[in-house]
Amino acid sequence: MLRTMRLPEPRGPLSEALFRDLVSRTELSASTVEQADRLADGGAGALSDEDLQISLAVCYELHYRGFEGVSEDWEWDPALIRLRTGLERRHLAALQELVGPLATSDESVDRQLTALITADDGPSLSSFMAKQGTLAQWREYLTLRSVYHLKEGDPHTFAIPRLSGRAKAAMVEIQADEYGGGTPERMHSELFAGLMRDLDLDATYGALWNEAPAAAFASVNTMSLFGLHRRWRGAALGHMTAVEMTSSEPSRRYSAGLRRLGFDERVTVFYDEHVEADAVHEQIASVDMCGSLVAEEPDLLADVLFGAACSLAMDGVTAGHLLSAWEAGRSALRGERTLAA
């Protein structure tokens, strides 16, 4: 039986009103709609807005596993979808402001993606963790990343039925590895859960949502937005490809960081798996998947590059959040919450 999670703690007037409606009503209240309407567009600041991001994450989670005490009828409730659409509009505008204009060219898609990645100058969190990350910092990092990795593969998988031909086959080939090739204990989400347990963290799905900051949800909300909208299928593939193209070497560094702290291959298996798998996935994603999609639908090239740029930019937002907090000598988790070393 699929295990659902509890609703997280609200983080502002919108999430407080929304969560109250989800557990106690069968329709949205006027106060919830009013709080949503009051949200400022806010530009890129929407990505760090705790109230907006947790509200959007909860709306999306209804398409994943749902919540204890929340009726499954809410998933496609028209009023809730309208509210979510308003939050998505703010989130998307923030992404567009963060990424800025992107130029396309006549070069092959894989070359344009490579150029985009090469030009990225975001901070390297993996280098920090490899060389100096403490056990306490590792536990904070895993807490933040658990919002994504405990559902790894799922946001992008929503795009599969929106594809055809070689692009679809390539995506299925990659995602099959994400899901362990048919072996449940080899699913990447299960490997990450094992890593969390090895570092004495609660690996229950959604258990650490209250500790994770807005940056964690903004990253996953971006994937959910792209995966759940056919309009953004090109961005979903571009985002996924950027993940595959930029994962192998950082995973090697993350593995080295854990080994530096005395952990062996039984703990580093999640990252070791990505070193091997993503090196293979890179060409499949950039050439077979994105290349085939753009060959079939040339107008989606800009969306593919936008999705990839969003992946890189959100990685930078996450790294910046963690590194700036640690440099200031404070926890990167919410408020006064911290995890013991």
- For residue range 80-119, list pLDDT tens digits in order: 999 999 999 999 999 999 999 999 999 999 999 999 999 9
Q: Which residue has the higher pLDDT, 234 or 279?
A: 234
Residues 49 and 167 in one domain: no
Mean pLDDT of the chain: 95
pTM value > 0.85: yes
Same domain, residue pair 94 and 115: no
**Residue 303: inside a domain, yes or no?**
yes
Instruction: Encode pLDDT of 43-81 as tens digits.
Output: 779 999 999 999 999 999 999 999 999 999 999 999 999
Is 322 within a domain? Answer: yes
* One domain for residues 190 and 256: yes
Phi and psi at residue 203, to the nearest 5°:
-95, 10
d(CA 169, CA 171): 5
Q: What are phi and psi of 67, to 5 degrees?
A: -135, 150
If you write DSSP's letter for every residue of 251-306 in order, what string do you get?
Answer: HHHHHHHHHHTT--HHHHHHHHHHHHHHHHHHHIIIIIIIIHHHHH-GGGHHHHHH
Chosen domain end from 99, 131, 158: 99
Last residue within a domain, chosen from 99, 128, 156: 99
Residues 268 and 234 in one domain: yes
Half-sphere exposure of 174 (CA within 13 A, CB side): 32
Examine residue 2 and state whether it is found in any structural domain, yes or no.
Answer: no
Q: Are residues 305 and 169 in the same domain?
A: yes
3-state SS assignment for residue 338: coil
The string of pLDDT tens digits covering residues 148-161 is 999 989 999 999 99
Same domain, 175 and 92: no
300 and 260: one domain? yes
Query: Of the residues 99, 120, 145, which one is the last residue of a structural domain?
Result: 99
My answer on whether 266 and 247 are in the same domain is yes
State the pLDDT at residue 339: 46
Domain count for the chain, please give it.
Answer: 2
pLDDT for res 93 = 95
Q: Quickly list DSSP for 71-86.
A: -GGGGG-HHHHHHHHH
pLDDT band at 279 (very low <50, low <70, confident <90, very high): confident
Question: 169-191, pLDDT tens digit by residue?
Answer: 999 999 999 999 999 999 999 99
Query: Residue 53 is part of which domain span?
Result: 13-99
Rounded to a whole number, what is the largest CA-CA distance in the chain?
A: 55
Q: How crowded is the C-beta side of 239, counted as CA atoms within 13 Å?
A: 29
Compare 63 and 338 and report the one with higher pLDDT: 63
Residue 194: its pLDDT value, please? 97
Q: 172 and 80, same structural domain?
A: no
- Please give the pLDDT value at position 336: 54
Whether residues 209 and 75 share a domain: the answer is: no
Contact 307, 236 (CB under 8 A): yes
Task: For residue 28, give Cα distances in angstroms to 36, 65, 79, 84.
Answer: 11, 21, 7, 12
